[in-house]
Amino acid sequence: MVSLRRIGLVIAIAFVIGRPVTRAQQPTDVDTLRQAAAAYASKYISTVSGVSLDETLILMDTSGAVRRTPERISTDLVLVKFDEGLIGLRDPYAVDTRKLRDHQPRVATALANPTQENVDLAQKFVREHAAFLMHNLVVWYTDPVLSLQYVTAASARKLTYAIDGEKKINGVQTIGLGFKEAADGPHVLDKIPGNAQSRGRLWIDPATGAIHMTELWVQSTTDIVRVSVNFAPEKTLGWLLPNKSSFNLEWREYGNRFNSTVGGSQQKLSFEGNAEYAKASYSKIDLGGK
pTM for the whole structure? 0.84
The per-residue pLDDT for 16 is: 31
Tens digits of residue pLDDT in 68-93: 889 999 999 999 988 878 899 999 99
The per-residue pLDDT for 20 is: 44
Give the Cα separation of 66 and 93 in Å (integer): 28
The arithmetic mean of pLDDT across residues 109-131, rounded, is 94
Tens digits of residue pLDDT in 252-284: 875 444 444 444 456 889 999 999 999 999 998
The per-residue pLDDT for 185 is: 82
The per-residue pLDDT for 18 is: 42
Whether the link from the prior residue into 105 is cis, omega within 30° of 0, is no
Tens digits of residue pLDDT in 220-240: 999 999 999 999 999 889 899
Percent of the chain at pLDDT exceeding 90: 67
Computed over its alpha carbons, how large is the radius of gyration of the chain? 19
Question: Does pLDDT of 1 surpass 60?
Answer: no
The per-residue pLDDT for 85 is: 80
Distances (CA, A) of 273 to 77, 158, 213: 17, 29, 17
Domain residue spans of the chain: 30-281
Give the Cα separation of 118 and 97 in Å (integer): 30
How confident is residue 3, by pLDDT bands cut at 50, 70 and 90?
low
Tens digits of residue pLDDT in 189-220: 988 888 899 999 999 999 999 999 999 999 99
Mean pLDDT, the chain, integer: 86
The per-residue pLDDT for 253 is: 72
Instruction: Report CA dihedral (225, 146, 2, 282) to the nearest 10 degrees.
Output: -130
